[in-house]
Amino acid sequence: MGSFFKGISKKRRKDPDPDRKFINMILYFSLGAVALMVVIAIVTFLITLDSKELTMVPDLKGMDLANAVIDLQEKAMYAEVQLRYSGSMSDKGTVLGQEPKQGTLVKAGTRILLKVSKGSSVEKIEDYTGWNVIELENHLKSLVTSYGPLLKLNKPFIYVYNDAEPGTVLEQKPLPGTEITILTDLSIVVSKGVEGSLTLVRDYGGTGWQRALQLAIADGFPFIFTSRAVERGEVPGMVVNQSPAAASEVPSDIVRQIYMTEPVEIEQGYKFGILEKELPLFPVKVPVEVKSITPGGVVTILAKLYHTGGLLTIPYIVADGSTLIISINGEEKIREVVRSLSME
């Protein structure tokens, strides 16, 4: 060490120039400052790389699972789901608890444990006697959740003659109040009405086809419309014949055949026709809707009725290029475009 200082002192004696000495000091100081800045930058980078921004855990209790997951993702956190039974089927899919708790500060990217209800471990079957079978099917569909359905209807149903309205549930198995823990088959006995009961046939003769369609739908019996060209002495667009004959008594499932003449005075750009489609057969009447949509987007309901399936016939006058749509039980099943010869 002594020799080092002696060397420096000798060097100073050899280099007495004060300007050179000052320049050397500035150079050494600059190099030292640069080196210090580099060290600070490296340390800061390493600290930043190793740490993540802290964020506060939100209160997720009582939220449904989907919204809770989205809430966590928006805050750069992730969900870990733990399913458990609860005391009620109504809170199925709801967050019952969480770890860490609300307000905890965690790093971004942390996984939050969500304790989610999968419903009651034991559920009791409702009493469905007296329900309409279509209402029952829609009700069971509404019970389907992200975890699956609770009950499945056994088909085909068992039908018996009964004084109750056709389509009414008379019996069920399992019985009301039965406790279930897994997906369970539900068998039902359904009324098909009074055996041998007769209905009076309405007189449709001399009625305009639009009115006849309204009456046939209101009566609730199966019907089929057929059209033909106008003959001498006949009025266009009118019912000219029917089968069974008016005022006769027939079983309620007998089809009313309604014969009409084709209308001749139709506005230009419109077309008359009869929509004829074969529907699947249903055990009971189901809601059917027929509507048209013009190329411009105007929607018109042509008919709303209950139908047991088989041949559906609906007369119509619609604009060329309109789309006819048949929906069954609220779901679109059939669509076709109406085109006259002039458009083809």
CATH number for 256: 2.60.40.2560
Whether residue 249 contacts residue 199, with contact meaning beta carbons closer than 8 Å, is answered with: yes
Same domain, 181 and 248: no
Tokens for 126? 């409702």
pLDDT score of 238 more than 60: yes
Same domain, 294 and 234: yes
Same domain, 326 and 204: yes
What is d(CA 236, CA 86) in angstroms, rounded to the nearest whole number? 68
What is d(CA 52, CA 228) in angstroms, rounded to the nearest whole number? 81
In a domain, 31, yes or no: yes
What is d(CA 148, CA 128) in angstroms, rounded to the nearest whole number? 20
Q: What's the pLDDT at 72?
A: 92
Q: What's the pLDDT at 4?
A: 45
What is d(CA 306, CA 195) in angstroms, rounded to the nearest whole number? 21
Q: What's the pLDDT at 17?
A: 64
CATH number for 157: 3.30.10.20
Average pLDDT, the chain: 85
Same domain, 223 and 326: yes
What predicted TM-score, i.e. pTM, was given to this entire model? 0.54
Q: What's the pLDDT at 260?
A: 98
Stretch 179-184: mean pLDDT, rounded?
78
Q: What's the pLDDT at 43?
A: 67
pLDDT score of 38 more than 70: yes
Q: What's the pLDDT at 156?
A: 79
Stretch 311-328: mean pLDDT, rounded?
97
Same domain, 151 and 60: no
Same domain, 149 and 82: no
Range with the poorest average pLDDT among 71-75, 157-161, 237-241, 267-271: 157-161
CA 6 from centroid of its chain's CA atoms: 92
Q: What's the pLDDT at 5?
A: 45
Same domain, 45 and 59: no
What is d(CA 227, CA 167) in angstroms, rounded to the nearest whole number? 33
Q: 270-279 and 310-319 as β-strands: parallel, antiparallel, unpaired?
A: antiparallel
Stretch 46-58: mean pLDDT, rounded?
69
In a domain, 295, yes or no: yes
What is d(CA 266, CA 274) in angstroms, rounded to the nearest whole number? 15
Instruction: Give Cα separations from 185 to 125, 149, 152, 157, 175 (angstroms).
Output: 11, 11, 5, 12, 12
Whether residue 298 contacts residue 322, with contact meaning beta carbons closer than 8 Å, is answered with: no
What is d(CA 90, CA 87) in angstroms, rounded to the nearest whole number? 9
Q: What's the pLDDT at 157?
A: 84
What is d(CA 323, CA 338) in angstroms, rounded to the nearest whole number? 6
Stretch 97-110: mean pLDDT, rounded?
90
In a domain, 210, yes or no: yes
Whether residue 60 contacts residue 91, with contact meaning beta carbons closer than 8 Å, is answered with: no
Same domain, 257 and 183: no
Between residues 136 and 292, the one the model is more confident about: 292
Stretch 175-204: mean pLDDT, rounded?
87
Ramachandran bin of 74, using left for φ above 0, alpha for ψ from -120 to 50, beta for the remaining angles: alpha
In a domain, 4, yes or no: no
Q: What's the pLDDT at 25?
A: 76
Express each pLDDT in 275-291 by its tens digit.
Answer: 999 999 987 788 999 99
In a domain, 125, yes or no: no
What is d(CA 235, CA 36) in angstroms, rounded to the nearest whole number? 106
Same domain, 338 and 219: yes
Angle at alpha carbon of residue 266, lines to 262 and 272, rounded to 5°: 50
Q: What's the pLDDT at 117?
A: 86
What does 93-145 look like in DSSP terms, one character per residue? TBEEEEESPTT-EEETT-EEEEEEEEEESSEEPP--TT-BHHHHHHHHHHT-B
In a domain, 7, yes or no: no
Stretch 234-254: mean pLDDT, rounded?
94
Express each pLDDT in 148-169 by its tens digit.
Answer: 567 888 887 888 888 898 889 9
Same domain, 302 and 210: yes
**φ and ψ at residue 264, rounded to 5 degrees:** -110, -30
Within 10 angstroms of residue 343's Cβ, the number of other Cβ atoms is: 11
In a domain, 238, yes or no: yes
Q: What's the pLDDT at 45?
A: 61
Confidence of residue 2 (pLDDT cuts 50, 70, 90): low
In a domain, 37, yes or no: yes
Tokens for 124? 């009791």
Range with the poorest average pLDDT among 50-54, 227-231, 263-267: 50-54
Tokens for 322? 């309109």
DSSP state of 56: E
User: What is the tally of structural domains in the chain?
Assistant: 4
Same domain, 209 and 178: no
Task: Give the type of residue at 331.
Answer: E
What is d(CA 230, CA 137) in angstroms, rounded to the nearest whole number? 46
Question: By residue range, what is the domain housing residue 222?
Answer: 198-343
Range with the poorest average pLDDT among 139-143, 215-219, 321-325: 139-143
